[in-house]
Amino acid sequence: MAPQQPTGTDGVRTDGLLLRIRMLGPVEVWLGGRRLDIAAPQMLAVLAMLAAEPGRTLSTTQLADRLWTDPPPRSAPSVLRNHVLKLRRQFEAYGHAGAGNEWLGSTRGGYRLGLPVEFDVVEFEELIAAAEADRRAGAMTEADAKLTAAQQLWRGDPLIGLPGPWAERERARLSRLRFALHEVAMTLALDLGRHSAAIAELEALVAAEPHSERWHELLMVALHRSGRRGEALEVYRKARRLLADELGLDPGPQLVRLHQEILSAEPPAPSAPEEPRVPVQLPPDITDFVGREELTHELAEVLAAESGSRPVIAITGLGGVGKTTLAVHLAHRTRERYPDGLLYLDLGGMDEHPRSADMLLAVALRAFGVEPGDLPSGLTERIDLWRNIMAGKRVLLVLDNARDVAHLTPLLPGSGTAAVLVTSRSSLAELFGARLVPLDVLTQDEAWTLLERTVSARRLSAEPDAAHEIVRACGHLPVSLRIVGARLSSRPTWSLAAIAERLADERGRLAELAVGNTSVESVFRDSYRQLAPELARAFVLVAFSDAPDLSVAAIAALIDREQADAERICETLVDLSMLQTPERGRYRYHDLLRVFARGVADRAQRLEWPQAMRRLIDFYLASAKNIVELRDPGVGTDYYAATEMAGQRFADEKQCAAWAMSERFGLVALYRQVAELADARTRTLAVDLALSLAVGGDAGEHLPQVAHVLEALSRAAEDDGDHRTMARAQLAAAVARLVGMADLSAARTLRNAGALLQDLGDGPGAILAEQMLGTAMAYQENVDLAVAHFRRAIELGRQHGNRWVEGMGWGTLARAYGNAGRWPEALDAAERALRIARLVGSLRLESMALHELGFATWPADPARARALCEQALDVARRDGRRHQEGWALARLAEVTLYSGDAATAVPIAAEAVRALTEVSASVRRLRAMWVYGCALSAVGRDGEAEPILRKVAQASARIGLAVPELPSSVRAVVGAAPVAIASGCGA
């Protein structure tokens, strides 16, 4: 939300009128002393959105996305035009002729409000902040007056009736502001000794927000200071029980510390809330910054200015011209003006596949204290959270190396007090509202000074002609001068004439450096020619990979060297600044260096690249096979293409999981490359790699991308005439869609791919297709079809002598029977699965068989059923796979609930939901959520149960699943409430 604007934007004639918007209650709009009659909620929302960012153009697309929850209708532009037209008419009635178009202008496909704006929300925020500042300074009376004024501004629920995602987000933000108001007010009341009043208010706050530890803490302080020590301790005991029972959590350190202080009878002062994280993440400032004095001073003044809204400054120009150096220098120079944080992000705009907004937002949110588990999964939600966190903060962001406006827009904090420095090789002309700063090369004097500072004045004065030749050959380009200067500085015995002579060579590089339109590539080419042949070959070959980074083991396979030799080569390249190492054992390129390396490859290196890619994929497939052998003895790996590499070896499941996590997005990029490569053998290896990971239970948010690139691989294999690889790619893609996206339409692909693989004699592929078809049918509660597919998979497994496949078939068959309430058949199938699991030594199968056996045992022997499920959980944890643990937890929670112990089932079900959310197991997570909701309802927590069960119903309907139902025998055990709620939400 932008602060108040004293004047119109861009010199707009405002007739001395101020637009006042009151949002803390029913929305009211005042122009001067007159209230505007705007009854249409959508029109009010449009005006509020424009007023929140006065002077900034909002496109029709932005407005539509904020106004409609679902994809905007086709009529959205015309609806918006009608709203704007009506608003202009209202403005016209109170202003001069033409005021409507001036005050609400149209610019390049969007609209912009030119009037000065005053929000009650901004005043509300400022009063709270000022009251807290006064309280800390000891000015209690002034603080009390400001809080009273803030409380009077709150007229009821904010933004009543306004539709759309923007209004919903604002309502959530304003709710948090009201929390802050209560917190400051209660702390002040305790400071002033108003303990009785504070106790009454805090008891109401605890009742309204029982999970807020802050209210419990302040209530304990108030009671203790009132001499009611026993009651204060009882508040702690109740809070501890509540957190444990409902959230499975222990009290936080502040609450625990306060409890200890009260036990020690030491009168405590209320502790301040935990200070927000203030990141200071800037690259080091350059100590010998040279030139651009006037521009630097001007931009520093813009960044340091005390204005309501902070600027966006976009520094543009060719690579190596010093954009990043200037941005970082400015950030350090003005850092004192930004007490809430300094954050630097490299957007990777020059990569073939730039860093995604999802990933960059995750990094930014983590820097400001958002835990990994709290990161939203969707891009829109991440953007919203990022902008909410930035709202009101005085933060300086350095967004380095943006590809274009669309690339950096999700990272912009919106209007407010955060400033942004952007660098890009693009002009960013469409970054409306930004200060554009196209950067040119250094002047002759500036270039000389830079070289003098990096080498030494003594050496330049000794060889002035050679020094001038170096400056000229470098084209006054800062990065060129710095590279040459650094080499001379580190080699004090070298003459400047020798370097000048090398730069005089016009075989490509010098022609670029000699003209005004210089290029960073020429500087990299000069450094590249310094490399020994072995280093140059590795530098080029590794750069051809699209993976964002690679392990040293993968690089060893790619360049066909022993791992120790590969590490030596990589570390040498790091020392030469030709490669970067984000962490030990992993390597990556700067984006421009990667592009340069690909362009500099000679014919032999280009011819070798397809072989290098095959070696790399071969290594990954061999590593995946090693994981299969370790994780799932008995599955076998003969089904997959033969590999020449040994692959990476793993000692335990922890190492397997870490490898899969670190490589997953890199593999997606490599699959995409392989699809475009004219090498059928490498495609076969890549498809088998994806298939092996799918069979091993690969799960996560990357699976939709995996499905997409596998479909591309399938098409490429079809073009090769390789129908087996084509069908296997389709199979792996369908598994990814079914598991990762809950896409039930994958069943058609599974059916077609399975039939083709069967015709081609690919029995293991046909088995997997049958297994996954059974899973798809079971998801849809088509039990008879699911049973038919699972039994077919079992029979095919027998024919191929694969007991593990048989065991998996019986385990999934037991689950289908159990979910359908066919207990004797479920019991028989689970017992068969357990026998096979122990025969082949598979913990994964054993855990599955045990929890399905427990579920099947429940109707006859609930106690034994729980014991079996607990044993399954123990086995799953020994196996180490999070999704397996989630399955076991979900069944244990279900059995515990059905046994009549809903209170115990609640935390188990909550943990199951967490586990299955982490691994993106969509369908199983929905069932676990359903169990969780039913358990909450059974213990009388209907308010928490209803939204969970409603979400299950909505998600199930969206993907075509039926909402589960409680068995009739269970309804009498857990009570009528969960049945009513569950059935109501499922309606």
**Complete DSSP assignment for 854-892:** HHHHTTT-HHHHHHHHHHHHHHHHHHT-HHHHHHHHHHH
Say how far apart CA 523 and CA 577 lie, in whole Å: 12
> For the chain, how far is it from start to end, CA to CA, in angstroms?
39
Asked which of 438, 462, 483 is the last residue of a domain, the reply is: 438
Q: Tell me if 85 is assigned to some domain.
A: yes
Among all chains, which residue has been given the structure tokens 């991440």?
382
**What's the token pair of residue 859?**
């109707």
- The half-sphere exposure of 905 on its side-chain side, counting CA atoms within 13 A, is 27
In order of 872, 937, 965, 974, the CA distances from 902 in angstroms are 20, 9, 16, 7
Contact 384, 332 (CB under 8 A): no
**Could you give phi then psi for residue 504, rounded to 5 degrees?**
-75, -15
Residue 51 and residue 187 in one domain? yes
Residue 655 CB burial class (10 angstroms; 0-12, 13-18, ≥19): middle
Identify the band that residue 534 occupies on the pLDDT scale cut at 50, 70 and 90: very high
Domain interval for residue 491:
444-523
Predicted TM-score of the model (pTM): 0.52
Q: Tell me if 314 is assigned to some domain.
A: yes
Among all chains, which residue has been given the structure tokens 């400056």?
471
Q: Tell me if 341 is assigned to some domain.
A: yes
Q: Tell me if 800 is assigned to some domain.
A: no
- Residue 926 predicted with pLDDT over 80: yes
Residue 36 and residue 171 in one domain? yes
Mean pLDDT in residue range 287-291: 81
Q: Tell me if 550 is assigned to some domain.
A: no
Q: Tell me if 342 is assigned to some domain.
A: yes
pLDDT of residue 894: 94
Residue 337 and residue 474 in one domain? no
Mean pLDDT in residue range 836-851: 92
pLDDT of residue 421: 95
Asked which of 523, 551, 572 is the last residue of a domain, the reply is: 523
Residue 464 and residue 430 in one domain? no
Closest-CA residue to 831 (of 843, 816, 846): 846
The per-residue pLDDT for range 776-819, each reduced to its tens digit, is 999 888 999 999 999 999 999 999 888 988 999 999 999 999 99
CA dihedral for 469, 472, 475, 480, sign (positive or negative): positive
The per-residue pLDDT for range 108-134, each reduced to its tens digit, is 678 888 777 787 888 888 888 888 888
Give the pairing type, strands 419-424 and 117-119: unpaired
pLDDT of residue 591: 63
The per-residue pLDDT for range 132-172, each reduced to its tens digit, is 888 887 777 778 778 877 887 777 778 777 888 888 888 88
Percent of the chain with pLDDT over 90: 30
Mean pLDDT in residue range 456-485: 84
Rank 477-486, 579-588, 642-651 by mean pLDDT and report only the highest. Answer: 642-651
- Residue 511 predicted with pLDDT over 60: no
- Residue 533 predicted with pLDDT over 70: yes
Question: How many CB atoms neighbour CB 475 within 10 A?
Answer: 23
Residue 186 and residue 82 in one domain? yes
Residue 21 and residue 152 in one domain? yes
Residue 335 and residue 466 in one domain? no
Q: Map residue 672 onto helix, strand or coil.
A: helix
| Helix/strand/coil (H/E/C) assignment for every residue in 390-417 | HCCCCCEEEEEEECCHHHHHHHCCCCCC
Split into its structural domains, the chain has a count of 4
- Minimum mean pLDDT range among 54-58, 465-469, 955-959: 54-58
In order of 166, 220, 247, 250, the CA distances from 238 in angstroms are 38, 11, 13, 12
Residue 415 and residue 458 in one domain? no
Say how far apart CA 522 and CA 508 lie, in whole Å: 8
CATH number reported for the structural domain that contains residue 962 in this entry: 1.25.40
Identify the band that residue 977 occupies on the pLDDT scale cut at 50, 70 and 90: low
pLDDT of residue 828: 96
Percent of the chain with pLDDT over 70: 89
* More confident position, 901 or 267: 901
pLDDT of residue 24: 82
Sheet hosting strand 110-113, strand order edge to edge? 58-59, 110-113, 104-106
Closest-CA residue to 211 (of 242, 184, 236): 242
Residue 470 and residue 431 in one domain? no
Say how far apart CA 708 and CA 704 lie, in whole Å: 6
Residue 413 and residue 497 in one domain? no
- Residue 10 predicted with pLDDT over 70: no
Q: How many helices (H) and strands (E) does the chain have?
A: 45, 16
With a CB cutoff of 8 Å and minimum separation 6, the contacts of 573 are 531, 535, 538, 539, 579, 587
Q: Tell me if 815 is assigned to some domain.
A: no
Residue type, 164: G
CATH number reported for the structural domain that contains residue 65 in this entry: 1.10.10.10
pLDDT of residue 3: 38
Asked which of 438, 471, 505 is the last residue of a domain, the reply is: 438
Q: Tell me if 596 is assigned to some domain.
A: no
Residue 414 and residue 334 in one domain? yes
The per-residue pLDDT for range 314-357, each reduced to its tens digit, is 998 766 778 889 999 999 988 888 888 899 998 877 565 678 88
Residue 394 and residue 493 in one domain? no
Mean pLDDT in residue range 43-62: 80
Identify the band that residue 31 occupies on the pLDDT scale cut at 50, 70 and 90: confident
Mean pLDDT in residue range 227-235: 84
